[in-house]
């Protein structure tokens, strides 16, 4: 009888362990008193009961905006132009292959290699 009781106790303990809530991490920040009052007012106006739900929604649901410098924008522009040129070369090659077998592939390969090197330099 004793072993049955100990088995039941072990089973109850195992069930309690399974029912535990997942571990939660705390994220906090400090704000001046006047900003805290504004936050509370906004929470009340929007119908939130606590700040945690509000902050999670604001932070996790927001769209990410990236500030790209002018240099980075120019690099993207150049990469787009180069890739467009490579695409045009590929189209010409396919047309020439259909017309005849006497295409100067070495010249085209050199051009593609040149564009690829430019891309490597730009991307860094």
Alpha-carbon span 41 to 38, nearest angstrom: 5
Structure pTM? 0.33
Return the axis-axis angle of helices 105-123 and 70-99, rounded to nearest 10°.
170
Residue-wise pLDDT for 52-82, tens only, equals 888 888 888 776 666 678 888 888 888 888 8
* Residue at 81 is within a domain: yes
Looking at the fold, whether 86 and 104 belong to one and the same domain comes out as: yes
In the predicted model, is pLDDT for residue 6 greater than 60? yes
> Into how many domains does the chain fold?
2
* Residue at 3 is within a domain: no
* Residue at 5 is within a domain: no
Q: Which domain holds residue 42?
A: 25-64
Looking at the fold, whether 75 and 55 belong to one and the same domain comes out as: no
The proportion of the chain whose per-residue pLDDT surpasses 70, expressed as a percent, equals 71
Looking at the fold, whether 59 and 92 belong to one and the same domain comes out as: no
Residue-wise pLDDT for 14-43, tens only, equals 666 666 666 677 778 888 999 999 988 888
């Amino acid at each position: 009888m004793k072993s049955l009781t100990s088995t039941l106790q072990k089973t109850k303990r195992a069930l309690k362990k399974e029912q535990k809530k997942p571990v939660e991490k705390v994220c906090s920040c400090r704000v001046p008193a006047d900003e805290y009052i504004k936050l509370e007012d906004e929470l009340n106006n929007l119908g939130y009961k606590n700040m945690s739900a509000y902050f999670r929604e604001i932070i996790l649901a927001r769209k990410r905006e990236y500030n790209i410098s002018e240099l980075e924008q120019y690099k993207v522009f150049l990469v787009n132009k180069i890739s467009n040129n490579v695409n045009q070369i590929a189209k010409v090659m396919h047309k020439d292959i259909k017309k005849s077998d006497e295409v100067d592939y070495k010249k085209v390969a050199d051009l593609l290699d040149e564009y690829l090197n430019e891309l490597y330099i730009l991307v860094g």
